[in-house]
A and B are shown apart, each in its own frame.
Chain A
Amino acid sequence: GAVVSQHPSWVICKSGTSVKIECRSLDFQATTMFWYRQFPKQSLMLMATSNEGSKATYEQGVEKDKFLINHASLTLSTLTVTSAHPEDSSFYICSARDSRTTEDEQFFGPGTRLTVL
């Protein structure tokens, strides 16, 4: 149980275009999901907390208009990188928290590698 998927696993796009990444909890409901960014050889940095049915909470320094988050259902959150630029190239990882438990554990997706040309 507690499986999180991401789609696509990798994407290459041209500068100026927008890219949408999906994060799904496959066998549990997640009122809260998280989006992280991982630069090469670096750690995961939390970008935002996605809350089902309400606005996402962004970490300091993360542009809300650049990284649009939608958590429209209990099993799906999407991250849209708008007007992507080469500096947005990174590994984006989502995680989800099982709504049925009170534990603080998060379950991580496999990540999406974004390359902006």
Chain B
Amino acid sequence: AQSVSQHNHHVILSEAASLELGCNYSYGGTVNLFWYVQYPGQHLQLLLKYFSGDPLVKGIKGFEAEFIKSKFSFNLRKPSVQWSDTAEYFCAVNAAGTYKYIFGTGTRLKVLA
């Protein structure tokens, strides 16, 4: 069965610090990968997605993620976080050709001003 692990449950950073959130999945076939952000009191927003091609994916708000197939990972990065990045971040995976998403447990990021 597919599963998604986000190892960092809570992360606290100061503004301008660099961010890396881990995401690992278990599935042997071709996958599509997503990172979503949920700001307090708001709905899920897509940060970036990977379907195929360049494994380094750039998303909105300065975020990027790198798909490393050999490590089954899709870590999210941002060189310099801002206070407004305080939110919960979810990694999601689906097996290509299926519509079912499997979400990770989420990482709650707090950025101190």
User: Which of B96, B99, B104 contacts A97, CB < 8 Å?
Assistant: B99
Binary interface encoding of chain A residues 73-110 relative to chain B, with 1 for a CB under 8 A from any of its CBs, else 0: 00000000000000000000101010000011110111
Q: Are A49 and B99 in contact (CB under 8 A)?
A: yes
- In the complex, which range does the number of interface residues on chain A fall in? 20 to 34
Is A32's CB within 8 Å of the partner chain B? yes
Give A32-87 interface residues, CB cut-off 8 Å to B. 32, 34, 41-46, 49
Question: Which B residues touch A95, using CB under 8 A?
Answer: 101
Is B90's CB within 8 Å of the partner chain A? yes
Binary interface encoding of chain B residues 95-112 relative to chain A, with 1 for a CB under 8 A from any of its CBs, else 0: 011111111111010000
Question: Which A residues touch B32, using CB under 8 A?
Answer: 104-105
Is B70's CB within 8 Å of the partner chain A? no
Q: With the chains together, A26 CA to B49 CA distance in Å?
A: 22
Question: Which A residues touch B36, using CB under 8 A?
Answer: 108
Question: Which B residues touch A93, using CB under 8 A?
Answer: 43-44
